[in-house]
Amino acid sequence: MDTTPYVVLSAILFTIGTVGVLTRRNAIVVFMCVELMLNACNLALVAFARQHGNLDGQIAAFFVMVVAAAEVVVGLAIIMTIFRTRRSASVDDASLLKY
Amino acid sequence: MYLMSEGGHTIPVVAPLEAEGAYTLLWLVVALPLLGAAVLLVGGRRTDRWGHLLGTATALASFVLSVVLFVDLLGREESERQVAQRLWEWMEVGGFSVGMDLLYDPLSALFLLLITGVGTLIHVYSIGYMEHDPRRRRFFAYLNLFVAAMLTLVLAENYVVLFLGWEGVGLASYLLIGFWQHKPSAAAAAKKAFVINRVGDIGLSLAIALMFVTFGTTSFTQVSELTSGAGEGTLTALGLLLLLGACGKSAQVPLQAWLLDAMEGPTPVSALIHAATMVTAGVYLVVRSNFVYELAPHAQTVVVVVATVTLLWGAVIGCARDDIKKVLAGSTMSQIGYMMLAAGLGVYGYAFAIFHLITHGFFKANMFLGAGSVMHGMADDVDMRRYGALRKAMPVTFLTFAMGYLAIIGFPLFSGFWSKDKIIETALVESPVAGVCALVGAGVTGFYMTRLMLMTFFTDKRWKEGVHPHESPSVMTVPLIVLAALSVLGGILLLGDWIVGWLAPVVGEAPHHEPPVPVIVLTVLTVAVVAVGVAAAWFLVGRREVARTAPQDVSFAVRAARADLYGDAINDAVVVRPGRRLVTLLLGVDHRGADGLFTGGGSAVAGVGGLLRRVQNGFVRSYALSVLAGALIVVIALMVVNS
Amino acid sequence: MTAFWILAPVMVLAALGILFVRKAVHAALLLAVVMISLAVLYAALDAPFLFAVQIIVYTGAILMLFLFVLMLVGVDASDSVVETIRGQRVLAVAGGLVLGVLLVLGLSQLTLGTVVGLDEANSGGNIEALANILFSRYVFAFETTSALLITAAVGAMVLAHRERLTPKAGQAERAAQRVRDFSEKGTHLGPLPSPGVYARHNAVDTPALLPDGTPAPDSVSRVLSSRGTVRSAPALADDIEQVRRSIDGVPGGASGEQATATGHNTEQHSLEEEGR
């Protein structure tokens, strides 16, 4: 079975994730889109692992998951802190650091 | 020493001998007052109790030293009467070398005696006059500083050292005019004197620069040797520049405006600096530079013109003022005009210029100190319209002042008679127009001095209430008596033309000129003119009631004279206002043009920055978009490069 | 391959849904769909370990964390559809399209060759093979991840921690405060009155009666009175008649009717109470 469809799917998911990060304003949804992008990468890694017949791709995907877990923990904590002080989870509202 | 022939007479060259014996102490004459000033200024309040004594003592020591040196010089051969002492090499730049050199010759010797002698008397007088001033010690420090600077000026062997003394007296004059700096008028007067003197100093410093360029030296010895080789244009320029310096220091037209305001200073200062010594420095400069002027007849003519104008200008001011010190100041201007006139007449007049300078130093110091004594008794009032009938209340002051008065109007046998008579006589012979003006000036002098005498010591009492005139303490009257005696006896210097012969090694000897009319006729004429002036004063002032306040319905001439012949207005219109307009213009050009370029560049950068900073809008998503755009650009670039 | 062709459109649709749904909860659910589909694809790609991990870690842990935070922030919080930054949406879509086209173009230029397959690598079992690599070649990275995780945990705790600005009030302070309130504001010193206890009612929504026969407002919870579900004390007497009748053996007492009547009364009285 061919690898290309998997990788194309991965590319499409990644693009959708990118557009989501750029257009959504709810910080949590933005975060979800980031996760979507990471998952798309994972799919490509796993697909290529099978293509090349070694497990390094799967290991890489595993590490990505670990890092994603850590990132989500800290990121959501930050979102919570911001929400606690500003009563808003919109990324546009945290725009004081500007000209 | 050799003489250089030029146009029928000789111009002596300065050719001093090396100092030896007593002359090696020459530097002490300057150093003592300088040390006194340093001790008093650095010592501060610790020296308050004995500061005035120290100041007087240093001046007195200088005087004693001057007398010793003078006596020694008298005993020498005429050809050996110039002594130079090199203290140290002052500056050496390339081919130029300026030494801290002193020159002691007959001219300097006379000045030394005048400065230290009158200076000492005025120090003594000041002990009494400044007794109640809390800053008396400082006053004596400044006086000592002045004496040291003035001695440097007259002892200098080159123009640069002379300039050092010149600036030193300027500084001391500034400090002393503004001594009562809590009075705004005194502070303003000091500033005015300083600024106008700077104008003159520009002339002197340019003259020094021109000497460096032309001769490569400023030493009197070398310049006097080299002048005969220089072009007349250069020498005329040099003479005019030196004259500009002399005008500033000696309050000659057009730089005369500061002298009347300078009377804001304490009266001993007016007597010492603004009558006897400093203001005559211009005359000294012209006489000392005789080797320049003798070869620049046009410059000499300008000197005569300036002197004649000043002579009449000062006399006219003296006629209209009611302030006793300002009358004397106008008189000083006028008398310095006489000296300058004599100096401008060249070799015929140099000796008489110095002679008049010395006698004037005596009688004007005498009168200024007398005026100070009167003010002392009249609770510091200077308005003559509130004096009157003081001869009973202050007999010593009156008598000494009368000696000075008789001397200045040229009463026969008094010192001023001899000196002024000689100047008028020479002027009538050498330059009849100037001579007639000088003659008229003598009459006007008779008028205003008689007016002063009458308003102060005669006529009715017009004292303010609560004023009780009293004679001054003896510490003040003794100097008055000494100076009065000198005013009377100053004429003995002319005995047998002694002073002419004495100064001949410095200024040269004039070929004998027989005046067109006998000398006795000229003398009688002068005395007659003076008598007319005195009589006019008697009829106009002495016979009438003197108003307690100056009458306002007076002719234009009187108004002009009261306003110092509009000297300040002329300065304002000719220099100050155009200068201010020019500065405003330049400032505008600077602000709009020069600054505009810099601030414009800055504003442009700031404007572009202001536009660019809009990119930093604070929205994370915009930043993410730009990250994406950057990534895309990199990827596209890679693909384009690879394909 | 069947799994792929079934799941790929689902995943793309779900992913696009994340872009368009307004409620964050829906987005989270759509993300869950994508992740579970991914897990199935991992299984299809000979990665059983990652299949499990994807389900457990991603869908189970991370997504649940998202949902927890969403609950804290507010489930209803929905995005406004209006774009506030000018040109952002257009540029984002354009950039996304360019990115997608570039990626697909790049892929189309690749020739991947035949698939090697993981049968050989997985011959001793996928998990054992992964463990072999992980604890040999990647052991340093693995140990480093542990540091990363600890750091993340500490960071989350620090961020979630709230600093106490005033000292915690103890029993003594609270007692003193009560006495102070009593002396200053006249607040009742003792505990609040307990709800009324009647023959047939003793729930927390039944107010106690004061000596003058009026209900004591403090005896029921403030929440209940604001919801308007407090029973009216006089209405409690309404069923006396019914009870007496049932005791007397009179049949046909419609208890349902009675109940509605009671409820009706309750509302009426509670409104009265509020008006007071």
Which sequence spans correspond to the domains of chain A?
4-86
Give the minimum alpha-carbon distance from B603 to chain C in angstroms, rounded to a whole number: 29
Of C50, C70, C116, the CB nearest to A58: C50
Return the partners of chain A (3 or more C-beta pairs < 8 Å): B, C
Q: Is C58 close to A89, i.e. CB distance below 8 A?
A: no
Q: What is the dihedral of CA B194, B197, B202, B208, to 10 degrees?
A: -120
Residue A91 DSSP class = T
Alpha-carbon distance of A73 to A90, in angstroms, equals 18
pLDDT of residue C253: 47
Query: Is 60 exceeded by the pLDDT of residue C274?
Result: no
How many beta carbons lie within 10 A of that of residue A29, not counting itself? Answer: 28
Domain final residue pick, C77, C108, C140? C77
Give yes or no for a contact between B396 and B478, defined as CB atoms under 8 angstroms apart: no
What digits encode the pLDDT tens for the residues B416-460?
A: 898 888 899 888 888 889 999 999 999 999 999 999 999 888 888
What are the structure tokens assigned to A68, written together? 């994603």
Q: Is A31 close to C66, i.e. CB distance below 8 A?
A: yes
pLDDT of residue B242: 93
Q: Is B635 close to C95, i.e. CB distance below 8 A?
A: no
Q: Is B621 close to A22, i.e. CB distance below 8 A?
A: yes
Say how many domains are in chain C: 2
Domain assignment present for C174: no
Alpha-carbon distance of C177 to C169, in angstroms, equals 10
Query: Is 70 exceeded by the pLDDT of residue A1?
Result: no
Q: Give contacts of A29 with chain B, Cβ < 8 Å.
A: none
Give the minimum alpha-carbon distance from B606 to chain C in angstroms, rounded to a whole number: 25
Query: Is 80 exceeded by the pLDDT of residue C140?
Result: yes
C:89-148 residues touching chain A, CB 8 A cutoff: 89, 91-93, 95-97, 99-100, 103-104, 107, 110, 112, 115-118, 120-122, 126, 129-130, 133-134, 138, 141, 145, 148
Residue-range definition of the domain harbouring residue C201: 193-275
Give yes or no for a contact between C74 and A27, defined as CB atoms under 8 angstroms apart: no
pLDDT of residue C257: 45
Would you mind telling me the total number of residues written for chain B in this entry? 643
Q: Give contacts of C98 with chain B, Cβ < 8 Å.
A: 632
The average pLDDT across C236-243 equals: 77
Domain final residue pick, C38, C59, C77? C77
**ipTM of predicted complex:** 0.93
Taking the alpha carbons of B469, B471, B475, B480 in that order, is the dihedral positive or negative? positive
Q: Give contacts of B629 with chain A, Cβ < 8 Å.
A: none
Give yes or no for a contact between B179 and B142, defined as CB atoms under 8 angstroms apart: yes
Selected residue of A16, A18, A34, A98 to mutate for chain B interface (largest B Cβ count, 10 A)? A98
What are the structure tokens assigned to B180, written together? 């009562």
Domain assignment present for C56: yes
The average pLDDT across C188-192 equals: 84
Mean pLDDT of chain B: 88
Closest CA to A45 of A8, A13, A4, A7: A7
Tell me which of B79-83, B484-488, C155-159, C252-256 is least confident. Answer: C252-256
Alpha-carbon distance of B577 to B132, in angstroms, equals 42
Q: Where are the domains of chain B?
A: 3-562, 570-642
C:1-30 residues touching chain A, CB 8 A cutoff: 1, 4, 8, 11-12, 15-16, 18-19, 24, 27-28
Q: Is B617 close to A98, i.e. CB distance below 8 A?
A: yes
Confidence of residue C272 (pLDDT cuts 50, 70, 90): very low
Tell me the CATH number for domain A4-86. 1.10.287.3510
- AA identity, residue C52: A
Query: Is 50 exceeded by the pLDDT of residue C258?
Result: no
Of C88, C99, C102, the CB nearest to B621: C88
Of C50, C53, C112, the CB nearest to A3: C112
| pTM score | 0.64
pLDDT of residue C81: 66
What are the structure tokens assigned to A77, written together? 């904590």
Low-confidence residues of chain B: pLDDT under 70? 1-9, 512-514
Query: Is 80 exceeded by the pLDDT of residue C74?
Result: no
Alpha-carbon distance of B533 to C22, in angstroms, equals 116
Selected residue of C5, C16, C50 to mutate for chain A interface (largest A Cβ count, 10 A)? C50
Most confident option among A53-67, B499-513, C177-191? A53-67
Selected residue of C7, C73, C83, C148 to mutate for chain A interface (largest A Cβ count, 10 A)? C73
Of C16, C79, C153, the CB nearest to A24: C79
Domain assignment present for C44: yes
Confidence of residue C137 (pLDDT cuts 50, 70, 90): very high
Confidence of residue C94 (pLDDT cuts 50, 70, 90): very high
pLDDT of residue B8: 54
Of B617, B619, B629, the CB nearest to C95: B629
